[in-house]
Structure 1
Amino acid sequence: MQRFVLGDVEVFPIAEWRGAFAPVDVLFPTMPGELWREHESWLAPDFVRDGDYQATFRVWVLRSAGRTVLVDTGLGNDKPRDAEVLDRRDGDFLTRLAAAGVRPSDVDLVVNTHLHADHVGWNTRLADGDWIPTFPRARYLISKADYDYWNPDGGGTPKSTFASPSDIRASFIDSVLPVHQAGQAVLWEGDSYRIDADLSLEPAPGHTPGSAVLRLESGTDRALFVGDVVHTPLQILQPDHDTCLSEDQAEAARSRRRVLAEAAATNSLLVPAHLGGAAAVEVARSNGNFSIKRWAA
């Protein structure tokens, strides 16, 4: 089990699934094919293989200020989904979590960076035919903007091309609504939400209206857990290209540029949700362009 320490915060990455998710020309419709070919020597095999985007669905476990915090909750089990990789899974995530020394009852806080199905799956589990919170003691931090947008009764009109309206509705009903009904959801809004002395949340909209970044500042160490603000390292080099999964691609690109600029200026470790390989990276900026400075060890 990998483990690293940033200031006073321990960090454990747990990979729930790895593999080919979608063809890159489908997932990144504006990204030129020659760009993938130009960088294939270092993108393969962790990030692209045979024209397919290689995804890692990862949950980050943080121990901060005496509490256990999960950053996103992955795919979940038993949930009906359109995409084969998500559909009615029978995975061993809770076993992997236990290997990191964490039982469901140990989790104090869950941070959902946004409410796409692959980030909220283990918010709940199936028990006697009902969806109940997987982490019985935890508070779940959920952006109010995302909650209102994805709520079938909230009037939002999701328009990303990858999930059907029925799939989006199902994800909200089985993975988000039960947490709210149990009284464990904290719907945060505004320019920031302070979790503790080392952790805070800030909006980074575009991928979804309520997409957020978890900022870690502890001692001299900095990290930005950016969820789906970045899907592939090519978006560091070419941040204006977005995925077909985003609700507002132009706004997502603006958020990505802002986050990359902060990562470069503060020497923050950039920690996206789905990168393979080292999974985290340091970013440099020169003449308005971004580059990969160093991969995390």
Structure 2
Amino acid sequence: MTNTASHLDERLRRPSEIRSLTLGETKLSFVPDGVAMFKARLWLDTTDDGDWAENAEYLDEDGHLVVSIGGLLVERDGRALLIDTGFGPLELGPPQSPFGTLRGGALLDSLAVLGRSPADIEAVAFTHLHPDHVGWAWHPAPGSDRPAFTGADYLVAEPEWTQRHHAEEMGMGDMLKAMEPLVRTVREGEEIFPGVQVRLAAGHSAGHTAYVISAGGRRVIAFGDAFHSPVQISHPEWEVAVDHDRAQSTALRRTLVADLAEPDTIGYGGHLADVVFGRVHSDGDQPVWRSVDV
């Protein structure tokens, strides 16, 4: 793969394709579902024009922040876990979405490219209950009146599920009712799949959850919506307009930047354009996100 500066900058401005890592006996794959094109100053609403002039490489030609949407497939010993299920076969834009346009629908096709069907997924673990993470968990599958993953357990952190009224207030009541029969709550430190542990990481939502995957002598922190863009690795103080608790989210980002800089640690952020797997490196006095090429 070509890794010139211009090529890497291009990857900051486009949604991710399928990306995979193999660590020992575990394979991790980003499963694309779609993309969101957000107005940068509205989404990261503590920024100004000067901030983006200094970080223009993160914006497309129309000034949008490009945000990937999808899930993380974890495979080991013939078994399969999926973390998050994308947005589903929908498109949403202004005025319902004042921040920009979201569209999904590719996740099942992406799974097929990876050699998997929904029936292969033994459990779906959710980072949080927002529409762009639960789409295929409630939306009927093509040619069916039932969601695609009804053969799987739906794993939701206990504080996220017990406080699901926040999601209901966002208009997700019908989605949650469709999911509820399959939901099993999980707790801090619980191993939900070989080498995959729950790490509570509240802030973006009341029970927002990360997953720590230990494999091949390394760990991968799947940090959900703690970060929406790699630029936030360098600027963890840049707040997201829809964070449930802004101060808690900012503190979490700072903690994660330090954690991700530790040896043998890789991060996974499903929203981070086409650099969803990466490591934190020091660039002078500033941490930066460097993709792990796959």
Aligned to 2:160: 146
Alignment of 1:64 with 2:90, yes or no, is no
Q: Find the aligned partners of 2:235 and 2:92 in 1 and give their Cα distance.
A: 35
Q: Find the aligned partners of 1:127 and 1:280 in 2 and give their Cα distance.
A: 28
Q: Find the aligned partners of 1:2 and 1:275 in 2 and give their Cα distance.
A: 12
Question: What residue ranges of structure 1 are gaps of 5+ in the alignment?
Answer: 159-163
1:44 CA displacement: 4.3
1:20-31 matches, cutoff 5 A:
20=37, 22-31=38-47
1:141 CA displacement: 0.8
> What whole-Å deviation, never above 9, does each CA across 1:263-294 have from its counterpart, x for those lacking one?
1124411111211122222013589x651263
Q: Find the aligned partners of 2:35 and 2:255 in 1 and give their Cα distance.
A: 28
Aligned to 2:15: none
Aligned to 2:177: 177
Q: Find the aligned partners of 1:260 and 1:131 in 2 and give their Cα distance.
A: 42
Q: Find the aligned partners of 1:13 and 1:293 in 2 and give their Cα distance.
A: 17
Task: Mark the CA change 1:224 to 1:127 in structure 2 (over 3 Å): closer, same or farther.
Answer: closer
Structure 2 length-normalised TM: 0.82
Aligned to 2:25: 8
Alignment of 1:54 with 2:63, yes or no, is no
Q: Find the aligned partners of 1:150 and 1:10 in 2 and give their Cα distance.
A: 32
> What whole-Å deviation, never above 9, does each CA across 1:2-41 have from its counterpart, x for those lacking one?
4320222111212211352x2111001112322221122x
Question: What residue ranges of structure 2 are gaps of 5+ in the alignment?
Answer: 1-17
Alignment of 1:241 with 2:238, yes or no, is yes
Aligned to 2:48: 32
Structure 1 length-normalised TM: 0.82
Q: Find the aligned partners of 1:237 and 1:256 in 2 and give their Cα distance.
A: 10
Letter of the structure 2 residue corresponding to residue 216 of structure 1: I
SS, match of residue 221 in structure 2: strand
SS, match of residue 173 in structure 1: helix
Aligned to 1:281: 278
Q: Find the aligned partners of 1:127 and 1:24 in 2 and give their Cα distance.
A: 33
1:37-116 matches, cutoff 5 A:
37-40=53-56, 42-45=57-60, 49-77=61-89, 82-83=96-97, 85-86=101-102, 91-116=105-130
1:66 CA displacement: 3.5
Q: Find the aligned partners of 2:173 and 2:79 in 1 and give their Cα distance.
A: 27
Aligned to 2:184: 186
Alignment of 1:291 with 2:287, yes or no, is yes
Letter of the structure 2 residue corresponding to residue 178 of structure 1: A
Task: Mark the CA change 1:7 to 1:177 in structure 2 (over 3 Å): closer, same or farther.
Answer: farther
> What whole-Å deviation, never above 9, does each CA across 1:223-267 have from its counterpart, x for those lacking one?
111110011112111112210010101001111111221111244
1:203 CA displacement: 0.5
SS, match of residue 228 in structure 1: helix
SS, match of residue 223 in structure 2: strand
Alignment of 1:117 with 2:131, yes or no, is yes
Count of residues in correspondence between the two structures: 272
Task: Mark the CA change 1:240 to 1:128 in structure 2 (over 3 Å): closer, same or farther.
Answer: closer
